Chains A and B, each alone.
Chain A
Amino acid sequence: MVNVTRLALAVLAGLASTAALAQDKPTLTIYTYDGFASEWGPGVPLKAGFEETCGCTVNWVAADSSIGTLRRVQLEGETTQADIIVGLDTAVAGEARATGLFADHGLALDNLALPNEWTDAQFVPVDYSHFAFMHDTDMMPEPPRSFEELIALPEDIKIAIQDPRSATPGLGLVLWVKAAYGDRAAEIWEGLRPHILTVTREWSESYSLFLDEEVDMVLSYTTSPAYHIIEDGDETIKAALFEEGHFPQIEVAGILKSSDQQELASQFLAYLASPDGQKVIPTTNWMFPVVDLGDELDPVFATLPQPEKTLTLPEEEITANSRAWIDEMLAAVQ
């Protein structure tokens, strides 16, 4: 038994040490969430693209969620290995900024193509999409066109949403309802309650419920249908556009003050927000690029219906109130 244990430990040690090979090139360590760094995500082509010119090694370190990357850096403080965090979004940017851990990026960013003007000194946009409810045209040919129409549907029309405390779209929906309805938000949540089949921890669980036809609609993104069209040739999954307008998720990246490679980190962010870096985003992360890619954008993305109105909330208001708004939502749907 002892020998087997030793052997197993030796194998484990071998597995662990492959990541720690000595390198003479500088290493850029980037924290991100698991999906971004997975083999299907944008991490792989971005690493290859940047390493072509930077004379460096890009090391993705994936926590289990985007909020997890922020928590890890908060735990590590000044001693963090991370140079950059990729994958926070505008809903938590205020909280992240308040930690004082992020440095100014110093980039001009003058060729962005976002729904709203971008003036953030610390965070660089990575990709964006609007939150929206998906429906399957075979099951639901005529989707609701507003929260109020959704609420008015028969109670056996079910939706799946995500917990705002653990999933970024869940928080996005809280902000969306707040931006659209203000003081009436609690009323909207109470109206939605009979339709909510379940509130899942992750986006992926809700989305699987939708694909398994356990729910009629699921909270996701206006760009989600692109995956099904491009990868499966399935055109039946569509985003329902609401008349109130839609709240966007803009994913961002920021440089840590504690990084000793500010110059290299800044170069990476410039690459990330350039057409070269952006062209890999749409068909790997299934979000819109933050610059105009012209012909390089898969034509399917141009056919996706987009909301006429983009809702926003000031960052200070989100940071100050998101806890209270989440509590309001939780109380209303309980």
Chain B
Amino acid sequence: MSTASISAHLPPRPWRIRAAVLLACAIGLLIAAVLGAILAAAAGEPTAPMRADIWHLLRMTSIQAGLTTILSLIVGIALAWCLNRLRFPGRGLVVGLFSAAIVTPGIVVAFGLLSVWGRNGWFNRASEALFGAPIGNIAFGLGGILFAHVVLDAAFAARVLLARLDAIPDARLKIGQSLGLGPLRRFALIDWPAIAGTIPGLAAIIFLIAFTSFPIVLLLGGGPANQTLEVAIYAAVRQDFDLRGAVLLALVQIAACSLVILAASALPPVPTALGPSAGQRWRDRPAAQAIQWLLLAICLVAFVAPLLAVLADGLAAGFGVLGQPTFWRSAATSLTIGSGSALLSVTLAIALGMGRAATDIPLLRTTLGLPVFAYLAVPAVVLSFGFFLLVRNAGIAPGTAAPFVVVVANALLSLPFVAATLGPPLDAIARTRGKLIRSLGLSGSRQFRAIEYPLLGRDLGVALALAFCFSLGDLGVIALFGTQDFSTLPLMMYAALGSYRSNDAAAIAAILLVLVTVAFVGLPRLLERLAHARA
């Protein structure tokens, strides 16, 4: 596999590039319109003195996000390495559970963490019972934020990287095995090249999530000392109604995030292996295997225990909530919204990814990589105000527009994750199958149906599952839309929490988690089967 340019192989695909450029421009225009609408609304307001110390916030946020990114990638690579080597019953479920964390509403995960690691959590109570002394409260402060972020992001990183490791072709593994590579050399020569292409995009995503993280920072941060820019923007908009200040802070955040995104998307693509591997077994030496089992056990305790705690709390609370009509209405709305935005998000990711894969021009590749991150760079509360103003300026009743806005916003929200899953394989197809496609004289649509769709099968399933689950969880964007009949499961969970109904909230959290896990385990298998049935 060489990093040969694609133009030598793949036939030109001008329509793919045009469509991708058009979509990229549309997303860019949408963000510009959001900020413009807020500035226009602020035109009549007096200028308030800016309260936030931007440099302090930028520094604090960058340190936290940088640490999160490094830790998450290290843990994620280690975990993917273990899972790739080990085979055990329930492996699929474990992989699904690991990925479930990132798409579960942050606040649910945070409370799950506390159930395990908090002052009154499993470990402290066990330690008190066994040794007569608690281990202390480690779940709060900067340590708590990092811990929670690593639980979310490392598991996601591991999921994406594992897909790449599992796709390493048998031929390569056979050569490696016949050369008698040790575990370290095997990782350096076979594994690393397979995952290297995915790491910049992953790092950018993790950095941006941590940079803009909201509920976890506020709950576990311990106080105003651990703030992010996003929290300051929230305060400027909500508390001070300082719209101009909010747009200014948002521009700072967009600029900071763009640096990270540009750095990540300007890197040349690294060829990635494709499609499922026959699952050839090549075990590492016993010592390395022992380390793998140990690492996996630690990760299971750290990552899966908080989710199990959510389930346990839900079971303990009882499922009285199932008897409420609102629950079923909310569930139906959640599923509809989730499906709609999953389809939109995957379509956008494929269109942008195919356009990107069809060109060698660095500037164009970078431009097509940018819009993927729109939602991560623009603060949710700014999007919320902006979307509200846009809808109103267009003369549409906010209540009527709410479902569509949520679908669009959630598709954008999940786009970076979906693109990180689908982008590298699309690039790889253009590079490794280009010659074949040219020699067969396939048209663009035949190329998709005959080559790309079957090869993407499993990744498409992962992408759909990611997008679907993200959309179950997020509603920040319609905070102002206020519609009486429009409720989703997370919204109902928050309403229950706000009305002292913590039992109902716990039950809904557990149900959400089950839904997310089922989607994660089921959708990739389903899509893989469908894709192969057609191939």
Residues of A within 8 A of B (CB): 1, 4-5, 8-9, 11-13, 15-20, 31, 34-35, 37-41, 59-65, 67-69, 71-72, 74-76, 79, 81, 158, 163-166, 196-205, 207-209, 211-214, 224, 227-228, 231, 286, 323, 326-327, 330, 333-334
Among all A-B residue pairs, the 10 with the closest Cβ atoms: A165-B239, A204-B497, A213-B120, A38-B495, A64-B479, A8-B340, A35-B498, A61-B482, A165-B235, A40-B499
By a CB distance below 8 angstroms, the chain B residues around A60 are: 484
By a CB distance below 8 angstroms, the chain B residues around A8 are: 336, 339-340, 343
How many of chain B's residues have a CB under 8 angstroms from any CB in A? Answer: 67
B222 within 8 A of A: yes
B389 within 8 A of A: yes
Q: In the assembled complex, how far is the CB of residue A2 from the closest CB belonging to chain B, in whole angstroms?
A: 10
By a CB distance below 8 angstroms, the chain B residues around A213 are: 119-120
Whether the pair A12, B483 counts as a contact (CB closer than 8 A) is: no
Whether the pair A76, B239 counts as a contact (CB closer than 8 A) is: no
Within 8 Å by CB of B400, from A20, A203, A327, lies A20
Binds A, one of B180-188, B299-307, B402-410, B519-527: B402-410
Residues of B within 8 A of A (CB): 41, 51, 107, 111, 114-115, 118-120, 137, 140, 215, 218-225, 234-235, 237-241, 324, 326, 333, 336-337, 339-340, 343-344, 347, 385, 388-389, 392, 397, 399-404, 407, 479-480, 482-486, 491, 494-502, 505
- Closest-by-CB residue of B relative to A8 is B340
* A31 to B392 CA separation, bound complex (whole angstroms): 16
Q: Which of A18, A35, A196, A203 has the most CB of B within 10 A?
A: A35
Q: Which of A41, A75, A164, A333 has the most CB of B within 10 A?
A: A75
- Closest-by-CB residue of B relative to A76 is B392
Whether the pair A34, B485 counts as a contact (CB closer than 8 A) is: no
Q: In the assembled complex, how far is the CB of residue A12 from the closest CB belonging to chain B, in whole angstroms?
A: 4
Whether the pair B399, A323 counts as a contact (CB closer than 8 A) is: no
By a CB distance below 8 angstroms, the chain A residues around B336 are: 8, 11-12, 15
Whether the pair A197, B480 counts as a contact (CB closer than 8 A) is: no
* A79 to B389 CA separation, bound complex (whole angstroms): 12
By a CB distance below 8 angstroms, the chain A residues around B140 are: 197-198
Whether the pair A38, B347 counts as a contact (CB closer than 8 A) is: no
* A74 to B44 CA separation, bound complex (whole angstroms): 12
Q: Given A34-B498, A199-B224, A214-B114, A61–B484 Cβ distance below 8 Å?
A: yes
- Closest-by-CB residue of A relative to B225 is A334
Whether the pair B223, A214 counts as a contact (CB closer than 8 A) is: no
* A6 to B234 CA separation, bound complex (whole angstroms): 35
- Closest-by-CB residue of A relative to B107 is A205
By a CB distance below 8 angstroms, the chain A residues around B491 are: 34
Whether the pair B234, A166 counts as a contact (CB closer than 8 A) is: yes
Whether the pair B479, A68 counts as a contact (CB closer than 8 A) is: yes
Whether the pair B486, A15 counts as a contact (CB closer than 8 A) is: yes
By a CB distance below 8 angstroms, the chain A residues around B339 are: 4, 8
Within 8 Å by CB of A334, from B215, B218, B223, B388, lies B223
* A78 to B240 CA separation, bound complex (whole angstroms): 21
* A214 to B111 CA separation, bound complex (whole angstroms): 10
Q: Given A20-B400, A71-B480, A231-B500, A214–B119 Cβ distance below 8 Å?
A: yes
By a CB distance below 8 angstroms, the chain B residues around A227 are: 500
